[in-house]
Chain A
Amino acid sequence: MSIEKMGAPALLGLDRFIVDEEEAHIVLDKEICAQCAEKPCLYVCPAVLYKLDKNGDISFDYAGCLECGTCRIMCKNKGIVKWVYPRGTFGINFRFG
């Protein structure tokens, strides 16, 4: 491999995650998100986990979360109804950091 622009999924593929299948650490209320005109989460998530689906609704997957907390701080209309760190041992496991 050599240096090239990489999409977020390819970058996240290099990281080690232990996904908590039983408990999502971030939960959205999509009805609130639908009312949000700015949707800053689309631009500020380093892992680009917030996307618009075909209907223009926010789709989100917590599995590739880097746990930075940017979305929580930028979410103005509180569509993020839950944001906690994953349960112990779960989530991102940086090998270098």
Chain B
Amino acid sequence: MSGEDKFDAIVVGAGPAGSAFAYTLARAGKEVLVIERGDIPGRKNVTGGRLYTYALDMLEEGLHQKAALERQVTHEQIMMLSGDRAVNIEFVNPAYNQEGSMPMSYTVLRAKFDKWLSGQAEKMGAVVVSGIKVDELIEQDGQIVGVVAGEDQLFADIVVAADGVNSFMAQKAGLIPDIKAATIGVGVKEIIELPAKTIEERFNLKAGEGAARMLLGCTEGIHGGGFLYTNKESISLGCVFTPEGAARKKKSIHEIFQDLKMHPAIYQLIEGGDTIEYSAHLVSEAGFRGIPKQLHREGFIMIGDAAGFVINTGYSIRGIDLAILSGIAAARAVIEAEKTADVGPMYIEELQKIKLMLTMKQTDKFYEVLETPWLYDKAPNLAADVFNHLFTVNGEVPLPLKTELMRLLKENDISIWELIKFSLKGVKV
């Protein structure tokens, strides 16, 4: 601590980014205060979701073995829905989950996980106060020097915004304007309780194994998609929409999501279960281009969702792992910097070193692929039509596959040029 009443760092938000930062900094002997508005860390947070394990072990080797996680993902699935038809693709690679090595990813529930990770930061010596909302930043001579929470003023060399996608801290610091509706998705989710054995039977899983499924064609043509993750004793079923798409269609996202539950291909997986929670959260859909131009100013840095660190490729969604990486990078910058003014630029360097920025940049082109409007209704319909043709055997003379494909494209109002254009975008990623 640089003065008696001053912390080395104050973190706003005890999510994965804030806790990873606090963990790393406290381990290095620095005095760090984490302020969380939820009653307990995790109480305000929502994921799809899953966590790619490598990030935890980057924080501390072997940490994933102790973590509050659900099931290790062994079954990767992509499902396309059209009417009551469904095309399901499943990928299983035992190498992802070899005994004795670190599994690739786990399903996760944030109320449990965030509480656990925050507890780990506390064990390292971080001070975590929950149930307190930070109202304002304190600025002195153009530098952020602390925060106001209710009646209290708290000071630190550096204030870290880890307050999530609606980062009021970054707005107050003047580093971002309000988030744009066009680059955001709203996710809704139900937690559906089912016995572990039932989940394992329905998804062909062994004990502890899990499935992750992306869903396309469940948003009534609105840019977005569904997801399903198996937890220990529940299923996370949800859907993400661009709110602008829903508003344009004048269709309630709640209603569209309720329809998804009743789709025969989904219903059979959740039948007999009990919904025990309904949640909603925003998620950045802009990827690399959504990262604010400035991630720091003197005395202030942004990490995790507040910094826009989310990758959506359509087949996988990453956020928690990137949040943890950015927390580690920020802590390294604080540890190494000799003066406050150096922290921001060093943080950007650390983000490069930890390969976060390059990872975001490399996946930037997915944004354009996912902007393809017919991806959300016509494409899943076409897929179902094609499989319908392949699997229909009724004694009639089949048309040549090529003729049939051209007919189906036309029927689905997708021109061959659109398809070529899409493929070109696809190979560019």
Give A residues with C-beta under 8 Å from B. Answer: 1-6, 8, 11-12, 14-15, 18, 38, 40, 42-48, 66-70, 72-74, 84-89, 91-97
Contacts and interface: CB of A to CB of B under 8 A. Distances in A.
Contacts of A12: 278
B44 A94 contact: yes
A8 B254 contact: yes
Contact of B267 (A3, A11, A84, A92): A3
A51 to B, nearest CB: 11
9 contacts: A6-B275, A42-B250, A47-B278, A48-B254, A68-B280, A74-B181, A92-B44, A94-B43, A95-B111
B420 interface: no
Contacts of B267: 3
Interface in B128-156: 131-133, 149-150
Given A69-B282, A73-B179, A2 B276 contact: no
A94 B45 contact: yes
B429 interface: no
Of the candidates A15, A42, A74, A86, the one having the most CB atoms from chain B within 10 angstroms of its own CB is A74
Contact of B111 (A1, A18, A96): A96
Interface in B261-283: 261-262, 267, 270-282
Contacts of B178: 73
Interface of A: prevailing SS: loop
- Max chain B CB contacts within 10 Å: which of A44, A84, A95? A44
B332 interface: no
A74 B282 contact: no
A43 B131 contact: no
B211 interface: no
Interface of B: 37-39, 42-47, 109-112, 114, 131-133, 149-150, 165-166, 168, 178-181, 184, 186, 188, 190-192, 234, 243-244, 246-247, 249-254, 258-259, 261-262, 267, 270-282
A85 B251 CA distance: 26
A93 B149 CA distance: 20
A73 B184 contact: yes
A44 B247 contact: yes
Contact of A46 (B249, B254, B272): B254
B279 A94 contact: yes
Give chain B's interface secondary structure class.
mixed
Nearest to A73: B181
Contacts, number: 154
A1 B132 CA distance: 37
Contacts of B45: 94, 97
Contacts of B280: 46-47, 66, 68, 70
Contacts of A11: 190, 254, 275, 278
A5 B262 contact: yes
Nearest to B43: A93
Given A5-B262, A88-B37, A93-B38, A43 B109 contact: no
Contact of A70 (B37, B114, B186, B249): B186
Contacts of B244: 40, 74
Contacts of B150: 88
A44 B243 contact: yes
B77 to A, nearest CB: 20
Contacts of A2: 271-273
Contacts of B47: 97
A69 B165 contact: yes
Contacts of B165: 69
A89 B39 contact: yes
Contacts of A6: 258, 275
A89 B253 CA distance: 28
B311 to A, nearest CB: 20
Nearest to A46: B280
Contacts of B258: 5-6
Given A6-B258, A70-B282, A97 B43 contact: yes
A47 B222 CA distance: 19
